[in-house]
Amino acid sequence: MRLKPQYVVAGAIPAVVILYFVVRGLLGGHGEQTQAHAATRPDTPVVQVSVIAPQLRPYAVMARGRTQAARIVSVRSETSGVVASTPVREGSFVRAGQVLCKLNVDAREATLEQARANLRAKQLTQKASADLAAKGFRSPTQALTDQANLDQAAAAVRQAEVALRQTDIRAPFAGVFNQRSVEVGAYLAPGGECGVVMELDPLKIVGDVAESDVAKLRVGAPAHATLATGERLDGVVYYVAKDADPQTRTYPVVMVAHNPASAVRGGLSAQISVDTGKGEAHLAPSSALVLDTAGRQGVRYVADNGVVGFAPVQIIDETPQGVWVTGLDGTVRVITVGQSYVSEGQRVRVAAR
């Protein structure tokens, strides 16, 4: 008698299930050994790690910047005349009030002497008029007129003195005479430029801070700048912008530092570091930094189960020994060799050191 197909299928299913459990029982131990062997098979990537423990470290906001003079002023003439001398060399240090350019006096000195002589005459006239008025021999109106003439003469003397002083074009503050704009014999009209004076002490270091870090900054916070020459300047935050640059979306920040003898020039590249407190950080080799598929900067590490993980980090300081970063939790086995050839979730073997 032929069995119907549906009966054959119904009978075969229990038989297959029973056969599966029988085979699994017989081969179970061998399968576990195979999996264990696969976990440590020779083609598993081998990496080297550095065990890094957290340390208490000052937190800092980093910014790229440049040195800049505290003040730059174009020194101009207040009167007209021919340049008689330029007593200061370009690039030399000048004191506040030091003469940078001197104009010909011309007739200004004679005008001053004439004003002083007229003043002396008016003083004698006013004294005699006052004495006569006191004795009743001169009217009060005439006495007041003579006093007014005396005041006018005194004003003329002051005016002539100012005109004479204006022939000396002086430095408005102590600094460096960075540029001379005229030579002897040149004619300067009122407003003509003698030269440019820069104040380099204190020195400004100007940088731009990301919008994610600007809230951590405050005016007066300790800061230091490492120059492209390797020099370090210690100072404080002087200014933090309240509005971002519309193109870069960064906020200008300015620190000021003492610059003895104006030794550091303006325009040097600098790395600004602003202290923002203390907390745990890890010192990782700079070569261990990688980018994940999303473009985030971080490090790859090996978890306890031998699987690669990725942790995004933020650099808070750079030193010759490595970079101080935040974003890691506890003691971490950071991959230092082979980190560019493995990916998150991949099982690896750690080489013995």
List pLDDT tens digits, range 206-260.
999 999 889 989 999 999 999 998 899 999 999 999 999 999 899 999 999 999 8
The pLDDT tens digits for 289-340 are: 999 988 999 999 999 999 999 999 988 888 889 999 999 999 999 999 999 9
Which one, of 72, 70, 86, lies nearest residue 194 by Cα? Answer: 86
User: How remote is the C-alpha of 41 from its chain's centroid?
Assistant: 53
Residues 6+ apart with CB under 8 A from 207: 63, 64, 65, 66, 252, 253, 254, 255, 270, 272
Return the sign of the alpha-carbon dihedral for residues 81, 87, 88, 94: negative
Supply 353's token pair: 């050191």
Q: Which of 26-35, 85-94, 138-147 has the least mean pLDDT?
A: 26-35
Q: What gap in Å lies between CA 255 and CA 232, rounded to an integer? A: 13
Return the percentage of the chain with pLDDT > 70, whole number: 88
In this prediction the pTM is: 0.62
Predicted pLDDT of residue 39: 43
The pLDDT tens digits for 156-165 are: 999 999 999 9
Residue 288 is classified by DSSP as: G
Instruction: Answer for the pair 211, 249: CB distance below 8 angstroms, yes or no.
Output: yes
Supply 133's token pair: 């008025």
Spell out a b/e string for 151-185, using b for 16 or more CB atoms within 10 Å of the CB, else e.
Answer: eebbebbeebeebbebbbbbbeebbbbbbbbbeee
Q: Which amino acid is at 132?
A: L
Q: Which amino acid is at 184?
A: V
What does each C-alpha distance from 307 to 46, 289, 301, 335 come to in angstroms? Answer: 12, 18, 8, 11
The pLDDT tens digits for 104-152 are: 998 998 999 999 999 999 999 999 988 888 888 888 899 899 999 999 9
Instruction: Answer for the pair 186, 103: CB distance below 8 angstroms, yes or no.
Output: no
Return the sign of the alpha-carbon dihedral for residues 150, 151, 155, 158: positive
Helix (H, G, I), strand (E, B) or coil at 134: helix
What residue has token string 């013995």? 352
Max CA separation in the chain (angstroms) = 168
Helix (H, G, I), strand (E, B) or coil at 281: strand
Residues 6+ apart with CB under 8 A from 70: 199, 200, 201, 202, 203, 204, 256
Spell out a b/e string for 63-84, using b for 16 or more CB atoms within 10 Å of the CB, else e.
Answer: bebbbbbbebeebbbebebebb
